[in-house]
Amino acid sequence: MSDKIGNVWIFIEQEGGVIADVSLELVSKGRELAQELGVKTEAILLGDNLGGCVDKLYHYGCDTVLMAEDKRLEPFTVLPYAKVLMSLIKEHNPNILLFGATYKGRELAPRVASEKLAGLTADCTELRIDDFDDKVNKKSYKNKLMQIRPAFGGNIIATIVNTWDDPQMVTVREGVMKMDEPDTSRKGKLIKVIPEISTEDTIIKVIERIREEKAVNLKAAPVIVAGGYGVGSADNFKLISDLAEALGGEVGASRAAVDAGWIDHDHQVGQTGVTVRPKLYIACGISGSIQHRAGMDESKKIIAINTDPDAPIFSVAHYSIVGDLNVVIPKMIKAFKAKV
């Protein structure tokens, strides 16, 4: 093995030729890491009929696009994807490999990491380059990827380093990294890969596939009114949607409210839901577990309404209202309607 450090790879997730936002966010992050390491940013694009994706990847910052087109790569199934990715890794030895922590990414990345005997860290919230002194094993590593993630239900933040062979593999949730503006003057190099897929890799068959676009778009909403366990019932969630409607916003929810069955998972904000950065986030009856806070604490303004003055949500709020949401929300609707 040469001492030359490998490139930064981003697994590009696409559905019907449309690139997932999380992949473009990771291209932005990957480019930053690659520049620090003095290596290239490369996209790994698998599927069929992908020609329309390539320029966009250059515009967002990829130097190279490695593209494998094959009808057996569409729709996604894990085995042929793992096969193609594995053979590319063996051939090119990337230093870092980033995946979106999506359904596909979380299914594919561990299968590949297991075969490659590489470390894999899930749901990183921050990535940077630094040196690592492994005091236990008395070894020092230069320019490793610091993989920072919440652990233990979000009660601790761990910095993890992969000390075995490259690639250093991680997954990152959508909305966690910031997407750079595209530069349409950027150009790159396309490498077409002929995938080697055998019949053994296509033993999983997709018999039926039903997909609907999400009815709620929390990420684009300027105002989010979110309800938690303190809302008390499915019926009472109407209060939350009334306020959201009055303010021209969307309805969000904590995991506790979703788990209670009061509202659909599409509305969930937090580590296992969507990460949001609206102009205004109103947390109603949400105690504010770290998992929830991680998904909304970068909102420009946060109002927290809770009867418990010690609720952790108040630690990230700009405006704290210690009180009953059943009393406060109607007052807010009335006050807003009177002003506009």
d(C-alpha 19, C-alpha 233), whole Å: 38
Binding mask 261-300 for other proteins (x = CB under 8 A): ----------xx------xx--------xx---------x
CA-closest candidate to residue 250, choices 288, 281, 228, 275:
281
Site for other proteins (CB under 8 A): which residue of 53, 67, 223, 243? Answer: 223
State the CB neighbour count (10 A cutoff) for residue 4.
Answer: 9
Q: Say whether residue 229 binds other proteins (CB under 8 A).
A: no
Q: Which is nearer to other proteins, 36 or 133 (CB)?
A: 133
Q: Which is nearer to other proteins, 263 or 305 (CB)?
A: 305
Q: Which is nearer to other proteins, 62 or 170 (CB)?
A: 170
Q: Which is nearer to other proteins, 29 or 149 (CB)?
A: 149
Q: Say whether residue 204 binds other proteins (CB under 8 A).
A: yes
Q: Shortest approach of other proteins to residue 188 CB, angstroms?
A: 27
Stretch that binds other proteins, among 24-32, 53-61, 109-117, 224-232 (CB under 8 A): 109-117
Stretch that binds other proteins, among 34-42, 55-63, 208-216, 235-243 (CB under 8 A): 208-216
Q: Shortest approach of other proteins to residue 301 CB, angstroms?
A: 5
Strands 96-100 and 168-172: parallel
d(C-alpha 300, C-alpha 15), whole Å: 31
Backbone angles phi, psi at 234, to 5 degrees: -65, -40
d(C-alpha 231, C-alpha 226), whole Å: 10
Q: Which is nearer to other proteins, 59 or 149 (CB)?
A: 149
Residues in Cβ contact with 106 at an 8 Å cutoff, skipping those fewer than 6 apart: 99, 122, 171
Site for other proteins (CB under 8 A): which residue of 51, 52, 91, 114? Answer: 114
Render 215-259 in DSSP notation, one character per residue: S---TT-SEEEEE-GGG-STTTHHHHHHHHHHHT-EEEE-HHHHH
Q: Say whether residue 214 binds other proteins (CB under 8 A).
A: yes
DSSP state of 334: H
Q: Answer for the pair 254, 226: CB distance below 8 angstroms, yes or no.
A: yes
Q: Which is nearer to other proteins, 61 or 119 (CB)?
A: 119
Scanning residues 23 to 52, which ones bind other proteins (CB under 8 A)? none
Q: Answer for the pair 255, 272: CB distance below 8 angstroms, yes or no.
A: yes
Q: Say whether residue 319 binds other proteins (CB under 8 A).
A: yes
- Lookup: tokens for 155: 């009660």
Q: Say whether residue 211 binds other proteins (CB under 8 A).
A: yes
Q: Which is nearer to other proteins, 62 or 97 (CB)?
A: 97
Render 46-63 in DSSP notation, one character per residue: EESS-GGGHHHHHHHT-S
Site for other proteins (CB under 8 A): which residue of 80, 94, 119, 285? Answer: 119
Site for other proteins (CB under 8 A): which residue of 123, 124, 176, 228? Answer: 123
Q: Say whether residue 189 binds other proteins (CB under 8 A).
A: no
DSSP state of 118: -
